[in-house]
Amino acid sequence: QVQLVESGGGLVQAGGSLRLSCAASERTFSTYRMGWFRQAPGKEREFVAAISWSGGRTYYADSVKGRFTISRDNAKNTVYLQMNSLKPEETAVYYCAASPLPIATMKVSDFRSWGQGTQVTVSS
């Protein structure tokens, strides 16, 4: 139900950084958690990070802990993903998503609204 638009993707060298942005429509009253997922060609979409919209509690995939930071600006209806020390294997399309569930796992099926995705390419 919420509309999402990602931006900030691009080409970066291994070890570099990118900050992704996800602008949501003003209709965020039904959103409990915002998340970032990524999908490489031929692979399943995987969870990267998530944040509760109101409380700001964060969740991270083990593979990105210590390198990625998710944050949100409620006034701007925007969520960010700061990605540092990027690795070539993290090349993928990154998607912003929203979950209306107060209690949820980080499964793809728990997130009901999705952005169009933004390409992140990490060169070696």
Strands 92-99 and 113-114: antiparallel
**CA–CA dist 17, 7 (Å, integer):** 14
pLDDT in tens, 4-23: 999 999 999 999 999 999 99
Residue 95's pLDDT is 98
pLDDT in tens, 102-114: 777 889 999 999 9
| Residue ranges in the chain whose pLDDT is less than 70 | 26-29
Residue 47's pLDDT is 97
**CA–CA dist 77, 53 (Å, integer):** 9
